[in-house]
Amino acid sequence: MIAVIIGIVVIGLAVIGTPLFVVLGGLAMLLFAIAGIDVSAVIIEATRISTSPILIAIPLFTFAGYLMAESGMPQR
């Protein structure tokens, strides 16, 4: 029964134009709270993972590839 209520709320929020990241983030926090997992621990872990040097390197590698493609380096 609770899954139906959560589904209706998620669909309702999506229909009224709430950004998808807010809907999914709120739903995740609600489900963590229902499961008995401390929400602050989840936020701390997400912050730790997002500051990883490997994760920061991914967009920089993509940007370097874009610059190489636009500069005509493959044609040389």
Q: Where are the domains of the chain?
A: 2-75
Query: Taking the model in full, what pTM does it have?
Result: 0.55
- Determine the pLDDT at residue 63: 94
pLDDT > 90? residue 76: no
The secondary structure of 1-70, three-state, reads CHHHHHHHHHHHHHHCCCCHHHHHHHHHHHHHHHHCCCHHHHHHHHHHHHCCHHHHHHHHHHHHHHHHHH
Average pLDDT, the chain: 86
* 74 has pLDDT over 80: no
Per-residue pLDDT tens over the stretch 17-46: 989 899 888 888 888 888 888 888 888 988
